[in-house]
Amino acid sequence: MIKTRLAPSPTGFMHIGTARTALFNWLYAKHTDGKFCLRIEDTDRSPDRYFPEAVDIIYNELKWLGLEWDELVSSQYERSPRHIEVANELLKNGSAYYCYLTTEELETLRTEARKTGKPIQSPYRDGTKPAPEGIKPVIRLKMPNEGTSILNDIVQGEIKVENDTIEDLILVRSDGTPTYNLSVVVDDHDMGINHIIRGADHINNTFKQMQIIKAMGWDLPTYGHVPLILGPDGSKMSKRHGATTTEDYRKSGYLPKALFNYLLKLGWSHGDDEIISIEDAIKWFDVHDILKSPAKFDHTKLTALNALYIRNTDDKELLEMLIPFMEEKVNHPLTEREKTLLLSGIPDMKERAKTLVEMANMGIIYIIDKDSHFAPTFDDKSQKVLNSDKNKITEIISDFETKNIEWTRDGLNDYFKQKAESLEMKMGDIVAPVRVAITFSTISPPLFEAMVIIGKEESLRRLKNI
């Protein structure tokens, strides 16, 4: 059975690169009827790096994306005794040794090593140099001094490294804590992970980790190193490119399925299909189709895809996703009436909004009434339109109050058309201030539909309110 894993460190956020790695691992497990495991790599306990809530962030972000795990190791840190046990076994079978080099001695050796281009050789490696008193040693793995290591990577192809270029690996620090490379290997082995799909930034680690595995006589897993995600300028995607975490996208109103779809296409190809359902992704996904060259993150493309997903989502489902955004905006839990009004506006909004945030901005127009605590504000442009023709608005109010105007989309359309003709104005110019009064903005979903949804009384109230 194929077992994959995601092994994130609790940093307090989930970088979209990690999310994509999670996605690939999850999909491959699903595709092969295997298992997707999650392991929290919380070994760095320095107070500025570690905070317990960061673990929940990993769980929440993965769940939001729909990437539930089949098995969980919730703390690598707690498994330290097991890691040390393996280091002791390696000492026993002669693959590892205690190294007593001091910082100064290491410095001297490194200066030497730089001249020859070879890594340092510890004088304690062959056991001839006696252990000095009062120095706490590290445990190092004996890396082979000759030969070539070959990694048959399912994404990158064959990668070769000359063994005599790698320094003897520290397995246990002088304070008795296991190092990252040791912990990862032991945990992957104990969890039965046989496919390791992770970022290409781990390739160097893989060559070190393979030596630990060999020294323990364990089976080598299959490796696939996924290229990094690049920003639009071709450098590694980072904060300066804007939104880089799943939380950024969640809070900006992206649908998890849209991000899922976008990340999948970013680094994996399946014909020309733009929209790929989760079911099809599971059916089609094969690690061998992961692209070898790094992909550039295209924000505009993601946003366009998100708009498409919004349009294709059922109104009621969309309403549920929209409610938290709306509630944050109006600062109160929506009443049933507000939810009903909002739902009526969804067909018009979803044709226009690219994100749930944009939708919430538009959604205000459907739910606000005389009892609302939320007061809309007008931007400068809207204010200008309003000020331009207050008299017209007064006339329109009077028409609404005295004439028998059919309160339907067509009825309102006919009224404004005739009004424009009688005043010899363009219909757009008459409608513009009404749009601002009703929708609080110069850009809105279809105005007459909105006026029908909110009703005549509320429409009049807004027109009088300006």
Q: Which is nearer to ligand GLU, 195 or 257 (CB)?
A: 195
Q: Does 210 bind ligand GLU (CB under 6 A)?
A: no
Q: What angle do CA 52, 58, 62 make, to 5 degrees?
A: 160
Side-chain-side CA neighbours of 203 within 13 Å: the count stands at 20
> Is residue 9 a contact residue for ligand GLU (CB under 6 A)?
yes
Give the three-state DSSP class for 209: helix
CA distance 376 to 368: 9
- The smaller minimum CB distance to ligand GLU, of residues 7 and 365, is found at 7
Of 286, 341, 292, which is closest to residue 455 (Cα–Cα)? 341
Closest distance to ligand GLU from the beta carbon of 248 (Å): 18
392 binds ligand GLU (CB under 6 A): no
Our finding on whether 75 is near ligand GLU (CB under 6 A) is: no
Q: How many residues lie near ligand GLU (CB under 6 A)? A: 7
Q: How far is the CB of 185 from ligand GLU (least distance, A)?
A: 9
Radius of gyration of the chain (CA): 31
Q: Which run of H or of E encompasses 78?
A: none
Instruction: Say which residues have a Cβ less than 8 Å from residue 419's Cβ, sequence separation at least 6.
Output: 396, 399, 430
Q: Which region, judged by CB under 6 A, interacts with ligand GLU, from 4-12, 104-112, 242-250, 295-303? A: 4-12
Among 2, 4, 7, 38, binds ligand GLU (CB under 6 A): 7
Binding mask 31-70 for ligand GLU (x = CB under 6 A): ----------x-----------------------------
Q: Under the criterion CB under 6 A, does residue 202 sit at the interface with ligand GLU?
A: yes
| Token couple for 359 | 């939708």
Angle in degrees, CA 438, 355, 279, rounded to 5? 140
Whether 119 contacts 166, CB under 8 Å: yes
412 binds ligand GLU (CB under 6 A): no
Residue 250 CA to its chain's centroid (Å): 8
DSSP 2: -
184 lines the binding site for ligand GLU (CB under 6 A)? yes
Q: Does 348 bind ligand GLU (CB under 6 A)?
A: no
State which residue, 182 or 184, has the beta carbon closest to ligand GLU: 184
Other Cβ atoms within 10 Å of 103 Cβ, number: 6
Looking at the Cβ atoms of 189 and 202, the one nearer to ligand GLU is: 202
Annotated active-site positions, please?
Answer: 239
Contact stretch for ligand GLU (CB under 6 A) within 1-9, 125-133, 145-153, 438-446: 1-9
| Structural contact between residues 296 and 234, judged by C-beta atoms closer than 8 angstroms | yes
Least distance CB 4 / ligand GLU (angstroms): 11
The region of 7-15, 322-330, 369-377, 437-445 touching ligand GLU under the rule CB under 6 A is 7-15
Sign of CA dihedral 16, 17, 19, 20: positive
Q: Cβ distance 9 to 41 under 8 Å?
A: yes
Any contact of residue 208 with ligand GLU (CB under 6 A)?
Answer: no
Piece in contact with ligand GLU (CB under 6 A), picked from 2-10, 53-61, 239-247, 252-260: 2-10
Beta-carbon neighbour count of residue 9 at 10 Å? 17
Please tell me the distance from the alpha carbon of residue 89 to that of residue 398, in angstroms, as a whole number: 91
Least distance in Å: CB of 416 to ligand GLU? 59
Those residues whose C-beta lies under 8 Å from the C-beta of residue 402, and which sit 6 or more positions away, are none
Cα–Cα distance, 35 to 2 (Å, whole number): 6
- Name the one range near ligand GLU by CB under 6 A: 6-14, 134-142, 248-256, 430-438: 6-14
Is 29 one of the binding residues for ligand GLU (CB under 6 A)? no
Query: How many other β-carbons are positioned within 10 Å of the β-carbon of residue 183?
Result: 24
Indicate whether 8 belongs to the interface with ligand GLU (CB under 6 A). yes
CA-wise closest residue to 362 among 335, 331, 329: 329
What 3-state class would DSSP assign to 151?
A: strand
Span of 5-13, 155-163, 319-327, 350-358 interacting with ligand GLU by CB under 6 A: 5-13
> Shortest approach of ligand GLU to residue 349 CB, angstroms?
39
Binding-site ranges for ligand GLU (CB under 6 A): 7-9, 41, 184, 198, 202
